[in-house]
Amino acid sequence: MITPAGPQLSATIREIRWPLTLMFVFDIVVVVCYLVLGWKWISFPHVPLSILGVAMGVILSFRNSITYQRWWEARTLCGSIVNYSRNIARQALTLIHPASDVDEEDPDPIRRRIVYYQIAYVHALRVHLRGEEPWPDLEPFLEPEEIASLRQEENVPFEIQHRMALLLRDCYRRGWLDSIRWSALDESLTALANAQGGAERIKATPFPPQYDYLQQTFVRVYCFLLPLGMVSSLGALTPIGSTLIGFFLMLLDKIGRDLEEPFGNSIHDVPLTSICRTIEANLKQHLAEADLPAPEPAVHGVIW
C-alpha cells in the first residue's frame, strides 16, 4: 500500500508514460499531416468528442467505484481479522483456568500455545492470500513436527485454526472451560473463519475481464480520435490539448486496474505484512514478552 507521503501520482504516471508518449507522438504526426502536408481529410471535426468524453468519464468513474469497493472490503476483512485475533488471545488468557484450586496442572502452556497458534494463523493466511510459501514465517511459532504435518495441507491457515479448536475442546474436557466460555471462544473462531472466507472469495474471484477489455478499448479508441477531431480547431496546439485529455483518461483507467486485486502482492495491495506484524506485537504483548516485532517500515513510500 502506498503511504500518504509516498509517490502516489508519480508512480502512476511512470506506469502510463509509454502509452502517453505514443499518444503525444501520434498527435504530432496528425498535426504535421494536417498543417504541413495539407491532408485536410485527416480531420474529423464533427466527431462528438465532448459527448464521448463525458460518457468515458462516467464509465471509468463507475468502474473505479466498483474496484475501490472491492479493495475496501478486503481492508475491512483484514481489520476484522485484527480484532478477532485480539479477542481470541484475550479470551484464551482470561477464560481458560483450572476448574478448582486443587487442579495441579498448569494451563499456561496451553494458553501460550493457543496465542502462538493465532499468530501463526495470521502469518499463514497472509502468505496463503499472496500465493507464497508459509514455512519460514511459521518456524518461530510452531514446532518442527507441526510444520512438517502442515506441509500436507492445502489450506494451511484453516488447518491451524482447526488445531486451535481441538485445543479448546481439550480445555473443555479438562474442565478449564465451561460451556459459556467455550461458546464465546468458538464464536470468535467462527468470525475469524468468516473473515478468511471473505478474503478468499475476493482472491478467487477475479475482476470481470470484460470490464478491463472494454474499458481499455474505449480509452484507446477515444485517444485515437482526439487529435483527429481537435486538429482543425486547435491546429499546432493539438498535441497539448489531446495529450492532456488522454492523460486524465489513462490515469483513471490505471487507478481502477491498480485496485482490482487487493491481495495481488503489488504496491497497491492491502498491507498484509504490516497488519500481521501489528497482530503479532499485540498478542506477544498479551503474553508479556519483550521481543516485540517492530512496525513494518515504509520502503520507498510503500508499506507491504
Please give the full DSSP string across 57-70, using - where no structure is assigned.
HHHHHHHHHHHHHH
CA R_g for the chain = 28
Give per-residue pLDDT as tens, 229-281: 888 888 888 888 888 888 888 888 888 888 888 888 777 788 888 889 999 89
pLDDT value of position 6: 52
pTM > 0.75: yes
How distant, in Å, are the alpha carbons of 150, 163, 186, 208 from that of 170?
A: 20, 11, 13, 45
| Contact between 162 and 37 (Cβ < 8 Å) | no
Mind giving me the DSSP string for 152-211? T-SSHHHHHHHHHHHHHHHHHHHTSS-HHHHHHHHHHHHHHHHHHHHHHHHHHSPPPHHH
CA distance 204 to 213: 20
Distance from the Cα of residue 75 to its chain's centroid: 7
Residue 61 has pLDDT above 90, yes or no: no
Residue 82 has pLDDT above 90, yes or no: yes
- Mean pLDDT taken over the chain: 84
Q: In the chain, what are the domain boundaries?
A: 8-286
